[in-house]
Every structure is written in C-alpha cells, then in structure tokens.
Amino acid sequence: LKIGTPKEIFPGEARVAMTPESAKQLQKLGYSCLIQSGAGKAAGFSDDAYKEAGVEIVKTAPSLWKQSDIVAKVRQPEDKELGYLTKVKTLISFFNPGGNEAGMEAAKEKGANVIAMEMVPRISRAQKMDALSSMANIAGYRAVIEAGNNFGRFFTGQITAAGKVPPAKVLVVGAGVAGLAAIGTSTSLGAITYAFDVRPEVAEQVESMGAEFVYLDFEEDQQDGAATGGYASVSSPEFREAQLAKFRELAPDMDIVITTALIPNRPAPKLWLEDMVQSMKPGSVIIDLAAERGGNVEGTVADKKIVTDNGVTIVGYTDFPSRMAAQSSTLYATNIRHMMTDLTPEKDGQLVHNMEDDVIRGSTVTHGGEITFPPPPPKVQ
Ligand code: NAD
C-alpha cells in the first residue's frame, strides 16, 4: 500500500508527519511513500532529501490524497481534507475527537478509518506512539527557551568583574510531561527552580531533577486535588485556597513562571491570578502552556505575547512544538512509524486494522462506517 503525507494547511503549522528517515523505516515495512512537494520545507526537510530516501514527490494535495491508501498528517484535518477521504482510506492524525463531532461524522459518512493520535492509550507498550507526550516534552523545553528570550537576564548566577548576578528563580506549575521537561531545562540552565503539582507523588521526580517541590500547608489526607489514574482531578475549594495562598507568597520573588496545569476534559484551572501577576517584578516572564485550553493565568491571551502595566510579559503561544519543527517532526514521524509497525504485523505493506488490539482499538475513532469513539477502557494497564 501507499502511505502519503500532505503539507499541513493550518496557518503557521511548520511540522510534517513524515521525515526522510521515517520514510525509510516505512519502506522497510513494505510501504511506498509519497509526500506533497514542499511539505517538509518549514521543518527543514527538502524535496530532494525525501527523494534520496526513496519517497515520491507529488505536486498537489488532491493528488497526494487520491494516490495514498494511508494518509499521515499532524493537525486535525480541515473540511477540505475530510472531503478527500474514501472508504478505502486510513487517516492517522491528531483529530481532537472529543471536540470534533462533525469531523467524525464526516469520516464515518465517507467510510474511512481514522486513527486519532491523541487517543493512543497511555500504557507502557504504547509509549513509543505517544505523540501527546513527545509534543509536550518539546513544549516544556521550548517554554523555557521562550522565557529566556523574553527575560533580560541570565538564568545562572555569576560572579564577574562587572558585578555579581543572582540566579533566576523559576516556578513551574504542573509537573506532568511538559512540566518535567521545563524543570529539566530550567535547572540545566542554572536557574533556581521550584515546582508544584497537585499530585504529590511527583515530588520525588521533581527533586531528582534538582528542583525544589513546593509543599502546601495542607493535611494530605484531605487533599483531593490529586489523582485518578495518574491524572489530576478538580481540587477541593480548601485545597485550591491553600494553593493560591502559596502562589501569592511566591509571586513577588519569582522571575519566571511556567504553567502547564491541565485536568483531562476540563478547561485549564486558573491558578495564577491577576493579583499575583501584579505583585511580580517588572521584567518577569510568564509562559502559559495551558493557553489553548483557556490558560492557567489571568490575563493570558491565546497565541499572543502581552506586557502588563507593571512590566510582566505573559506569553500565550499555543504552537510551541511547531516552533521547533525539525525536532517535533522527527519525534512525531517516529510516533507514526511505530503506529504503522503495529498496524503491519507481517511487514508486507498491508495494513491490518486489528480492533482486538488495545492500542489500535483505543486510538481508532471511526472504523468500517462507524464512530468508535469513545473507546472502551484498555484491558491491559
Ligand atoms: P496533563 O498535561 O494532563 O497535566 C499536566 C499536569 O498538571 C499534571 O501533572 C497535573 O497533575 C497537573 N495539574 C492539574 N491541576 C493542577 C493544579 N491545580 N495545580 C498544579 N498542577 C495541576 O498531564 P500529562 O503531562 O499528560 O501527564 C499526566 C500523567 O500521565 C503523569 O503522571 C505522566 O507521568 C503520566 N503519563 C504516562 C504515560 C505512559 O504511561 N505511557 C505517558 C504520558 C504521561
């Protein structure tokens, strides 16, 4: 069969779902690879590099979609792209199934099979296909780089002939995949790094990375801010008050705040309130990685960088992985390639959409003319 990757059409999206390297691996699975001309350009992969890797270059999107049995892309498909689907096609892409009823209906009507990359179950066996994690890792790293770019000072402390420079103080709120990547990057740049999460079990990980876990004055057995299956749930009002009180105390002392707190299927919790922003020093920087889901910070504007009256920069960009398109494309294309490996048990270029397999079943949102979202819970943890 043929697997093809079109150029992303979402404005500003620089990632691509197939790289020359991933194409070589896909060919080892028995597939022919196609790419739309220019699809890799913004991520640093030229048509020539694909050609050298044995990929056929196709001029236009309609032709690419027409010729491909399997289409791998990054962003949730737009209406035009859904229009190219047919009964014999499989689409592998981010799809946002929870908020994309119309997209699922369209794919179902066409009879196409859709694998939504954000639905890959978070079990050990599927980590190699976990694109949410690979993208969150990049977002966390890039958040620190973005903060450094907007912060007019060093991260690390220095004693120089021209004077003594104190180290920057960085607070990371939310220590999931993105938060841990931010913590690692921040400590490696030499900042004094603090981190908070409602899941106290991450404290050890935070400390092993050289950061300080922020504890609340709160009875742990009353804490329901914690977890269901490794994820956060909504905090009790008492817990939230204790958390906000702690942040209020920290705010005047922090140079950089990076927020990454999310609760599955809910808007992002508001954790860094207006008065905390107001009490920060001029020149401080906030990076709100939750901006796409409404933001953790009061005053964040999605996709914008703003400077408050008291001189605090708040960055609400929602495209951090795309801002590191070479890296994110490489990791995403590898996630896709691993998905294809599981879909090709005989390595003979034939896709076997095995709905008995937990990972494939869990990620499939339309199959055989049916909507198959939401999936049943996985059998194996
Ligand atoms: P996420 O993006 O859903 O949330 C980010 C973090 O925000 C979480 O750590 C969450 O606890 C925290 N948070 C929520 N509300 C908060 C609040 N009020 N204050 C402070 N922090 C708050 O999470 P994620 O990065 O997707 O990871 C969630 C969990 O899943 C982690 O334990 C991670 O290790 C685990 N995980 C497992 C696998 C796997 O097994 N394959 C893969 C990825 C992640």
pLDDT given at position 381: 53
pLDDT score of 219 more than 90: no
- Exactly one of 63, 67, 122, 205 is catalytic; name it: 122
CB 342 within 8 A of CB 130: no
Instruction: Quote the longest CA-to-CA distance of the chain.
Output: 71
Determine the 3-state secondary structure of 50 from DSSP.
helix
Per-residue model confidence as pLDDT tens digits over 24-82: 999 999 999 999 999 999 999 999 999 999 999 999 999 999 999 999 999 999 999 99
Q: At what angle do helices 131-150 and 177-188 cross, to 10 degrees?
A: 40
Which one is predicted more confidently, 20 or 225? 20
User: 267 CA to middle of ligand 1, Å?
Assistant: 14
**Candidate list 130, 197, 288, 358, residue with the active-site label:** 130
Query: Residue 224 pLDDT > 70, yes or no?
Result: no
Question: Could you confirm whether 127 is annotated as catalytic?
Answer: yes
Active-site residue (options: 46, 48, 127, 215): 127
CA-based radius of gyration for the chain: 22
Strands 70-72 and 56-58: unpaired
pLDDT digits (tens, 9 = 90+) for 305-350: 999 999 999 999 999 999 999 999 999 999 999 999 999 999 999 9
Contact 342, 22 (CB under 8 A): no
Cα–ligand 1 centroid distance for 177 (angstroms)? 6
Q: How many CB atoms lie within 10 A of CB 342?
A: 17
Q: Beta strands 169-173 and 256-259: pairing type?
A: parallel
Cross-strand partners of 213 = 195
As to burial, measured by CB atoms within 10 angstroms (0-12 exposed, 13-18 middle, 19+ buried), residue 30 is middle
Active-site residue flag, 348: no
Arithmetic mean of pLDDT over the chain: 95
Neighbouring C-alpha atoms within 13 Å toward the C-beta of 88: 9
pTM of the model: 0.95
What is residue 123's predicted lDDT score, i.e. its pLDDT?
93
Report residue 218's pLDDT band, with 50, 70 and 90 as the boundaries: confident
Q: How far is CA 355 from CA 233, 291, 358, in A?
A: 30, 35, 7
More confident residue, 380 or 42: 42
- Select from 120, 231, 320 the residue to mutate for testing ligand 1; criterion: most ligand atoms less than 8 Å from CB: 231
Give catalytic status of residue 69 as yes or no: no
Inform me whether the pLDDT recorded for 226 exceeds 60: no
- Spatial separation of the C-alpha atoms in residues 187 and 314, rounded to whole Å: 21
Residue 295's identity, in one-letter code, is G
- The two tokens of residue 68 are 């491909």
Task: Return the best residue to mutate from 129, 177, 201, 228 for the ligand 1 pocket (most ligand atoms within 8 A of CB).
Answer: 177
d(CA 232, ligand 1 centre) in Å:
7
Angle at 38 between CA 127 and CA 1, to 5 degrees: 55
47, 63, 231, 357: which one is catalytic? Answer: 231
Report the length, in residues, of the chain: 381
Residues in contact with ligand 1 by the CB-under-6-Å rule are: 122, 124, 127, 130, 133, 136, 173-179, 196-199, 225, 230-232, 235, 260-264, 269, 271
* Cis, bond preceding 62 (omega within 30 deg of 0): no
Res. 228: pLDDT tops 60: no
Pairing of strands 56-58, 32-36: parallel
